[in-house]
Amino acid sequence: MSPNRQPTDETRKMNLQLIVITDRALAAPRDPIDVVRACLEAGAPAVQLRDKHASARELYDQAVALRELTAAYDALFFVNDRLDVALAAGADGVHLGPDDLPLHAARLAAPADFLIGYSTDDPAEAAQAQAAGASYIGCGAVFGTTTKPEAAGEQIGLERLEAVVKAVEIPVVGIGGIGPENAELVARTGAAGVAVVRAIMAADDPAEVVRRLLDAFRKGGDRQPGG
């Protein structure tokens, strides 16, 4: 499949119930692509490539491989931070943070249907991101995280997550310390999904964790008012 594959209408539905975020160190000694394959077979609807230590060429090679794999399962594929790599590999989108390329600049450079996620736990900033063209918000760390040293000790909690959900009309995805044991609580805030690194990448059976996460999140969504 060409890396410049155009997204389909089905892709645009943007199922973000679970975004599997890659981590080579946590997946070791396994290849992260093999872990992702198991997750996709278990029903994961979205994958984000995150590798802070890879060169641009290494990241591109990983992105092309993951683009082909996610396309085979009709799953969304995002690249963390690097808009250039995401576009070159034919990804569905990119995920940006406050220190990355400004959101408005990314939106100008990307195709109209290209998805752009943005990280913030501030309701006002989330609303600004929506106005600047964000497709969804990544919000955390909800329960704390050990995979991002710069966010060590941060724990925004469920109330803050819900405040961000209420501040925007675009989907909000919770991230940080999320596993099968608390995904249901995240769903009850009205969040569109969860993004998970350690609970999946470090698991002996990633596929089983994916199934449990999806089941827990769907149960939580069913328990929302009107759900």
pLDDT along the chain (227 residues), means of 10: 40 84 98 98 98 96 98 98 98 97 97 97 98 97 75 83 98 97 97 98 98 97 70
Residue whose C-alpha is closest to residue 157's, from 136, 176, 171, 170: 176
| Catalytic residue, candidates 37, 50, 82, 212 | 50
Catalytic residue among 148, 160, 198, 219: 148
Residues with Cβ within 8 Å of 134's Cβ and at least 6 positions away in sequence, in order, are 103, 116, 117, 118, 170
pLDDT in tens, 161-185: 999 999 999 999 999 999 999 999 9
Residue 159: Cβ within 10 Å count: 8
Catalytic (active site) residue 2: no
55 is catalytic: no
pTM: 0.91
Instruction: Decide if domain 14-222 falls under CATH 3.20.20.70.
Output: yes
- The residues spanned by each domain of the chain are 14-222
Dump pLDDT digits (tens) for 104-124: 999 999 999 999 999 999 999
Residue 50 annotated among the catalytic residues of the structure: yes
| Alpha-carbon gap, residue 127 to 103, rounded angstroms | 13
Residue indicated by tokens 């946590």: 26
37, 67, 107, 119: the active-site residue: 119
